[in-house]
Amino acid sequence: MATTSVVGQVRNGMEVVTSDGESLGKVKETYIGTEPTSPLQQCDDETTVEVHRGGLFSKSTTMYVPCRALARVDGNTVTLNVDQQTANAKGWQHKPSWIGT
State the CATH number of the domain containing residue 74.
Answer: 2.30.30.240
pTM: 0.83
- Write down the pLDDT at residue 43: 67
Compute the 3-state secondary structure of the chain and give helix, strand, coil in percent, each to the nearest 5: 15, 40, 50
* 74 domain residue, yes or no: yes
Task: Answer whether residue 98 is part of any domain.
Answer: no
The reply to whether 71 falls in a domain is yes
Residue 65: per-residue pLDDT = 95
pLDDT at 47: 87
- Count the domains in the chain: 1
Output the pLDDT for position 52. Answer: 95
pLDDT tens by residue, the chain, 101 residues: 455 578 889 999 999 999 999 999 999 999 887 555 555 555 666 789 999 987 666 677 899 999 999 999 999 999 999 999 999 999 999 988 888 76
CA dist 31 → 19, 54, 78 (Å): 22, 21, 15
**What is the structure's pLDDT at 50?**
96
